[in-house]
Structure 1
Amino acid sequence: MVDRLCIAGYRSLRDVRLPFDQLTVVTGANGSGKSSLYRALRLLADVAQGRIIPSLAVEGGLQSALWAGPENLSRAMKRGDQPVQGTPRAKPVSLRLGFSSDDYGYAIDLGLPVPGGSRFDKDPVIKAESLWTGPLLGRANVFAQRRGPAVSLRDGEGAWRAAATDLKPYDSMLTHAADPRDGMELLLLRETLRDWRFYDHFRTDPGAPARGRQVGTRTEVLAADGADLAAAIVTIQEVGAGERLAAAIADAFPGGSVEVRDVDGTFAVEMRQHGLLRPLGAAELSDGTLRYLLLVAALLSPRPPSLMILNEPETSLHPDLLPPLARLIAAAAKRSQVVVVSHAASLVSALETVGARRIVLEKQLGETVAAGEERLTWNWPSR
């Protein structure tokens, strides 16, 4: 389980260190930094896919993604006794992401290349990476580290060996030094990050893929766009979780049920609702009803991930659906660690009722902080 998430230098997250539980809900006012936190988690997962540099490019490049305020905020600035102003930079430009559990931790530090010699010298480069045992990075517990182009691994007797000496500045050690024979720890971490699952604003418009027919193939993991909803529902039923699926539907829509019609191998979702004489096809369902079905299919996945992140799952849902959704999320949190990012007070309250840890983000002088949270200890890898 991810116990700590630490982000420094990314958008409004100048230096955020958050504690996570098995079920955590992150909330706050509009503009408090919730979306930046969600994107930071996606960037961490992108490291394992070799996509972190392209992902930052989509955001406008490193310069657009960096903290835009002064390098440090003095107490006088925070009190309002002194205007917020920049000072000569003491440290190099840096965007750092990291997380840890009781078992291991990982962190990455991105910066700018030495200028000159390339038209890509505005691209971010990976300056340092570390993988260690336990919650905090220290000298004695590091077993994989990258500084510049060199990657070193520590064996069981504490001796270091070179795993790479010429790693490209845009390639992570997770993707280019992970090997089942020499770098198993990196390989395991890479696969763990690739297992993280993100669901963010399912499409429910008239042309949404989930409203149409799809060729039915066994689907243990719902696609990010929900296109394979019908196949995911059939898979849940066939692996023996049909009762849980039916209970989740009935909890939100008393007397309702979901069916999947099979026509020559193509699947389509249909829903029976109390009082209607015929089932409604997916094209007839309201946006909120379809979104709820998508969330049910995601949260009842027969292949639960180690970490699932839901970004504003309450979008277009009627308030009456939020308590059933909270119960569904709580049940999923027994099989996966779940992080919910939401600004819906009723959903946040319902999740707290079922045992979620609540983290409230707020802005102070443009900087995102976690209200009431004790500042966690954290060590970043050196360059």
Structure 2
Amino acid sequence: MILTLAVSGYRSLRDLVLPLDRITLVTGANGSGKSSLYRSIRLLAEVAQGRAIASLAAEGGLQSTLWAGPEAFSRGMKQGEVPVQGTVRKSVVSLKLGFADEDYGYAIDLGLPSDAGRSFFAMDPEIKTEALWAGEALSRANEIAGRNGPAVRVLDGKGQRVPVVQNLARFDSMMTHAANPKDGLELLVLRERMRAWRFYDHLRTDRDAPARVPRIGTRTPVLSGDGGDLAAALQTILEIGDEHALAEAVEDAFPGASVEITVNDGYFELLMKQKGLLRPLKSAELSDGTLRFLLLAAALLSPRPAPLIVLNEPETSLHPELLEPLGRLIGAAAEKTQVIVVSHAESLVAALSALPGCAHYNLRKQLGETVVDGIEPPRWNWPKR
């Protein structure tokens, strides 16, 4: 389970360190930074896939994602006595992301390219430094692997930090290029753990949604990001997962209803029997809210539980009566999976807040910066360049 999430210099997240729980609920007004927090976690996951630089480019490049305010706020700025203005910068420009779980911690620092103007890729950020450590917060004593510039050093069996990569490209992470069973076992373990994180924010339910049409199915223990393999994912739950939990979730949301999967020439199709109807409805006939709930059920009841599932506004298209059943579904999933939920639906927020092991953070903006009131930030140290 992730215990600490740290973000610095990303959009409105100037310097945020949050303790996480089994369920972490993030709320706040529009523009308070909820989407930025979600994106920062997703960007952290992209590091383990080797796609962090490309993901930043898709957001407009590093310059578009950096904190746009001053490096620090003076007391006068905070009290409104003087206007917010820039000062002489004391630190280098950087975007930092990190987390610590029960075993390891990891952090990455991305900065401006050193060859700006001499390459067609001069807008690409550079990975300046990375660190992997054991325990709560990074220190010299507990660092297992570190990258500074092109060199990666890891702690060997004798307690010595030895180089394993000498010429790592500035756009490549040690998570993807130094993780191996011989010299970088801890890097390999954490990389695969991060690769198993799941994000759901584009589960389509529109008329042309992939989940509404039959498609060739294979065993699907993990629902895809767009939900196109819904029928196969539900059948996988029925065969090798918790079919009783699925039936209970459907009954909880739609009393008297049940789902079944048909297969014709290898094409899987979802059918839903509803109380009072003389025939089952095909997925193409389901309402947006009904289809979305079934998509979320398939994601949360996966036979292969993820170490982390992040749901961004899962209440979209759902009728208010479905929000409490969704809260119970998330609570059941959290027994096996850590869940982060970004939401502004009052009924869902109330249902999740009442669950044990739920940390609720309400974000707000202060002088353009996302802040969270009433928390004691965990101990955290960033790696030095």
Q: TM-score, normalised by structure 1?
A: 0.99
What amino acid is aligned across from residue 382 of structure 1 in structure 2? K
Secondary structure of 2:105 counterpart: strand
In structure 1, distance between residues paired with 2:120 and 2:207: 43
In structure 1, distance between residues paired with 2:16 and 2:232: 40
Corresponding residue of 1:370: 372
Secondary structure of 1:203 counterpart: coil
What amino acid is aligned across from residue 4 of structure 1 in structure 2? T
Residue 7 of structure 2 is aligned to residue 29 of structure 1: no
Corresponding residue of 2:188: 187
Corresponding residue of 2:226: 225
Corresponding residue of 1:172: 173
In structure 1, distance between residues paired with 2:224 and 2:267: 17
What amino acid is aligned across from residue 88 of structure 1 in structure 2? V
Secondary structure of 1:4 counterpart: strand
**Once superposed, which parts of structure 1, at least 4 consecutive aligned residues long, lie more than 4 Å away?**
none
How far off is 1:157 after superposition?
A: 2.7
**Deviation digits for residues 277-318 of structure 1 (CA, Å, limit 9, x no counterpart):** 111111111000000000000000000010110110000100
RMSD: 0.9
Corresponding residue of 2:119: 118
Instruction: Say if 2:154 and 2:162, in contact at 8 Å, map to a contact too.
Output: yes
How many residues in Structure 1 have an aligned counterpart in Structure 2? 383
Please show how residues 94-243 of structure 1 align to structure 2 within 5 Å.
94-114=94-114, 115-243=116-244
Structure 1 unaligned regions, length at least 5: none
In structure 2, distance between residues paired with 1:126 and 1:374: 30
In structure 2, distance between residues paired with 1:271 and 1:354: 30
Between 373-382 and 296-305, report the one with greater CA deviation: 373-382
**Deviation digits for residues 76-121 of structure 1 (CA, Å, limit 9, x no counterpart):** 1111111100012111110000000232100000001113421222
How far off is 1:156 after superposition?
A: 3.1
How far off is 1:376 after superposition?
A: 2.9
In structure 2, distance between residues paired with 1:211 and 1:117: 49
How far off is 1:240 after superposition?
A: 4.6
Corresponding residue of 2:93: 93
How far off is 1:382 after superposition?
A: 0.2
Structure 2 unaligned regions, length at least 5: none
In structure 2, distance between residues paired with 1:5 and 1:180: 27
Instruction: Say if 1:201 and 1:315, in contact at 8 Å, map to a contact too.
Output: no
In structure 2, distance between residues paired with 1:5 and 1:147: 22
Corresponding residue of 2:296: 295
In structure 2, distance between residues paired with 1:375 and 1:223: 34
In structure 1, distance between residues paired with 2:23 and 2:238: 25
Secondary structure of 2:384 counterpart: coil
Secondary structure of 1:63 counterpart: helix
In structure 1, distance between residues paired with 2:158 and 2:117: 42
How far off is 1:358 after superposition?
A: 0.6
**Deviation digits for residues 25-79 of structure 1 (CA, Å, limit 9, x no counterpart):** 1111111000000000011000011000000000000000000000111121111
Instruction: Say if 2:104 and 2:134, in contact at 8 Å, map to a contact too.
Output: yes
In structure 2, distance between residues paired with 1:234 and 1:53: 37
In structure 1, distance between residues paired with 2:158 and 2:144: 11
Instruction: Say if 1:201 and 1:312, in contact at 8 Å, map to a contact too.
Output: no
Q: Percent identity, aligned pairs only?
A: 63
In structure 2, distance between residues paired with 1:131 and 1:302: 30
Q: TM-score, normalised by structure 2?
A: 0.98
Residue 323 of structure 2 is aligned to residue 318 of structure 1: no
Residue 383 of structure 2 is aligned to residue 381 of structure 1: yes
Between 255-264 and 115-124, report the one with greater CA deviation: 115-124
Corresponding residue of 1:358: 360
**Deviation digits for residues 325-353 of structure 1 (CA, Å, limit 9, x no counterpart):** 00000000001111111111211110011
Secondary structure of 2:242 counterpart: helix
In structure 2, distance between residues paired with 1:100 and 1:294: 30
What amino acid is aligned across from residue 141 of structure 1 in structure 2? N
